[in-house]
Amino acid sequence: MSKQQLPNKETIAELRRQIGKQRKHYEQLIKNVRAKHCKEKEELEKSLSDLYDKFIEKLKYLMELNALDKENGKLVDMVFEISRNWTQINTLFAEFFGMNETLKIIEENGDMYGHLTEIIKNRMMVKSKIIIALYEDTKKIVLELLKSIESFLDFYVLGMDENHRIGMIKMLNLMKNVPFAVLNEKERIDGTIDEIKKTVTEIESELLRLPLSNLRPRRSIRQILWEEVDLYEAIRTGTVFALEGIHLTGEAQPKSS
């Protein structure tokens, strides 16, 4: 049996160089992988942090929107209460005005219908008291609404139309200055009553022109949440990319209205 030949010094030195070279290669490879993982981790943490910040911002926005919705919802109730009250005032005043015209005719004819005079005056007195009481209650609501009318109209679809916006403000300002108190005076001036009638008619006309059905928020919480659901579904199914409405084909798509 022949003896196994041992490697010489040069061969051993070459092997050591190759091993050292490979060790450095793999050490560098491990270092690169670790650096890559570290960078990816930092990017992921930043991405999650940004996502969390956006979530917090959206949550704050929704909370603010919810608070505005509740606050303005109370003002919407005021608008409809004003509308109901003014419809009653308009009807009562029309009756009062008709009685006043009838009373003038009776007084022009002397004693022929004199027995009706007191009956009509008493009924007019009752009507005037109801009108004044209802108007005073309505005026308080009108003044309260006028304090925040601009921000109120900014929040609702109704305020987007400049004519409706102007009409609403004009109507409320007319409502706060109607001199119904003179109806309760014994010596009523016909000219003043005619002016009241003119104002009442103008207010009623403005009220009828207002599409009160448009007292709905420009951006509702429900709408925002449904948009989030639609976006999640689009991303999940791969039909949309990120938040910009860009499809995976690279073509920009128009945003839905």
- Is it the case that residue 147 has pLDDT exceeding 50? yes
Instruction: Indicate the range of 5-19, 33-47, 52-66 predicted with least confidence.
Output: 5-19
- pLDDT recorded at residue 11: 78
> What is the mean predicted confidence (pLDDT) over 107-114?
70
- pLDDT recorded at residue 172: 96
Place of tokens 């109209």: 153
pLDDT category, 255, cuts 50, 70, 90? very low
Phi, psi of 241 (to 5 degrees): -115, 130
pLDDT category, 226, cuts 50, 70, 90? confident
> What is the mean predicted confidence (pLDDT) over 195-219?
91
- pLDDT recorded at residue 236: 65
- Is it the case that residue 95 has pLDDT exceeding 90? yes
- pLDDT recorded at residue 188: 67
State in Å, rounded, how far the first CA of the chain is from the last one.
Answer: 93
Domain ranges of the chain: 72-214
Instruction: Indicate the range of 70-84, 192-206, 220-234 predicted with least confidence.
Output: 220-234
pLDDT category, 242, cuts 50, 70, 90? very low
Among 131, 95, 178, which Cα is nearest to 103's?
A: 95
- pLDDT recorded at residue 146: 96
pLDDT category, 252, cuts 50, 70, 90? very low
Instruction: Look up residue 200 and give its two tokens.
Output: 């009442």
- Is it the case that residue 56 has pLDDT exceeding 50? yes
Q: What is the pTM of this model?
A: 0.68
Q: Where are the alpha helices (DSSP H) in the chain?
A: 9-108, 114-146, 149-155, 162-175, 190-209, 221-236
- pLDDT recorded at residue 87: 94
Among 84, 90, 195, which Cα is nearest to 141's?
A: 84
